[in-house]
């Protein structure tokens, strides 16, 4: 890699991390973690892959801050005013970083599909949560499908689902020019990413710990699994199919 191109990557990542910290999107350890994860992706894969990941970050920050006052009134707001830390950064970025690392060992197109799936899943899940929290009503995704307050673990709404689908499709469409994916394959990360969002809701309704239920998984565990599982499935199928 050209040292000048490395300088572009380092300047860009430093700027993004500092920007995220200064607008309270990330705390200091979270910003440093995001810098390091982004550096791994840019070095093992390509700067364009990092740009796709950055799109998730921008969408996530904007969605978190959308209607904060209304969400706070509904007690559905992200804790700490939407500021995220190391655990959240790792939960949302690790699956994508691992998929980027797969490009060193596996078919590049398979790794690109898995990476796009991971980013689409985290984007869809974030939009479902943050936009869905503004919905007037929600229902549990699992039986008995009872009405629940918007923002409760495992709750889904039409508004949240529409935002999730839009997010997954948007990331998948951006992945075509950025990752060099054929347009005929864009449906894979779009569908798998949206499915990952549904998996997050199912895990949230059944296995995620909350004030009412002492369950085995934390919110960060659920976030990671919801992006890692569909990404891994896509990677395995794409690698086998060649």
Partner 1 sequence: MRNRTKKLGASGPSSGVDMEVRNLPLFVASLLLLTAATSLAAVLIHDGEVGTDEAKLGYADEGDSVKVKGTLTPFEAATGSSWGDVLAMLHHTTYRLMLPDLDAEVLVTGLVEGLDAESVIVEGAIVYNGPHPSDVAAHLLVLDANTVTSPFFDW
Q: Rule CB under 8 A: which residues touch partner 1? A: 2, 4-5, 7-9, 11-12, 14-16, 18-19, 21-24, 47, 62, 65-70, 81, 134
Asked if residues 150 and 130 have their Cβ atoms less than 8 Å apart, the reply is no
Give 136 or 144: the residue with its C-beta nearer to partner 1.
Answer: 136
CA–CA separation, 17 and 36 (whole Å): 10
Q: Least distance to partner 1 from the beta carbon of 27, Å?
A: 10
Give 66 or 142: the residue with its C-beta nearer to partner 1.
Answer: 66
Q: Least distance to partner 1 from the beta carbon of 10, Å?
A: 8
Q: Least distance to partner 1 from the beta carbon of 64, Å?
A: 9
Q: Least distance to partner 1 from the beta carbon of 8, Å?
A: 5
Residue 156 β-bridge partners: 139
CA–CA separation, 71 and 116 (whole Å): 29
Q: What's the residue count for the chain?
A: 242
DSSP 3-state of 136: coil
The structure tokens listed for 81 are: 């005013």
Q: Least distance to partner 1 from the beta carbon of 69, Å?
A: 5
CA–CA separation, 43 and 12 (whole Å): 13
Q: Got the DSSP string for 88-148?
A: HHHHHHHHHHHHHHGGGTS-HHHHHHHHHHHHHHHHHHHHHHHHHTTSS-EEESSTT--EE
Give 54 or 206: the residue with its C-beta nearer to partner 1.
Answer: 54
CA–CA separation, 188 and 114 (whole Å): 9
Give 11 or 236: the residue with its C-beta nearer to partner 1.
Answer: 11
Give 134 or 225: the residue with its C-beta nearer to partner 1.
Answer: 134
Give 131 or 165: the residue with its C-beta nearer to partner 1.
Answer: 131
Give 134 or 222: the residue with its C-beta nearer to partner 1.
Answer: 134
Per the listing, tokens 């799936």 go with 117
Q: Least distance to partner 1 from the beta carbon of 73, Å?
A: 8
Asked if residues 150 and 136 have their Cβ atoms less than 8 Å apart, the reply is yes
CA–CA separation, 148 and 49 (whole Å): 38
Q: Least distance to partner 1 from the beta carbon of 159, Å?
A: 13
CA–CA separation, 227 and 193 (whole Å): 7
């Amino acid at each position: 890699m050209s040292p000048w191109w490395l300088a572009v990557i380092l300047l860009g990542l430093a700027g993004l991390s500092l920007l995220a910290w200064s607008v309270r999107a990330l705390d200091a350890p979270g910003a440093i973690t995001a810098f390091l994860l982004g550096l791994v992706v840019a070095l093992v894969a390509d700067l364009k892959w990092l740009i796709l990941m950055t799109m998730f970050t921008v969408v996530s920050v904007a969605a978190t801050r959308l209607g904060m006052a209304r969400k706070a009134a509904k007690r559905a707001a992200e804790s700490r005013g939407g500021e995220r830390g190391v655990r959240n950064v790792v939960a949302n970025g690790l699956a994508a970083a691992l998929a980027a690392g797969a490009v060193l060992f596996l078919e590049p197109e398979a790794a690109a599909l898995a990476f796009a799936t991971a980013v689409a899943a985290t984007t869809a899940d974030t939009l479902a949560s943050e936009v869905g929290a503004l919905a007037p009503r929600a229902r549990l995704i699992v039986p008995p499908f009872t009405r629940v307050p918007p923002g409760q673990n495992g709750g889904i709404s039409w508004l949240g689902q529409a935002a999730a689908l839009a997010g997954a499709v948007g990331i998948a469409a951006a992945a075509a020019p950025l990752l060099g994916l054929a347009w005929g394959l864009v449906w894979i990360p779009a569908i798998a990413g949206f499915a990952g969002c549904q998996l997050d809701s199912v895990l949230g309704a059944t296995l995620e710990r909350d004030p009412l239920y002492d369950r085995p998984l934390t919110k960060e565990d659920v976030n990671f699994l919801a992006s890692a599982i569909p990404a891994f499935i896509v990677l395995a199928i794409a690698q086998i199919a060649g």
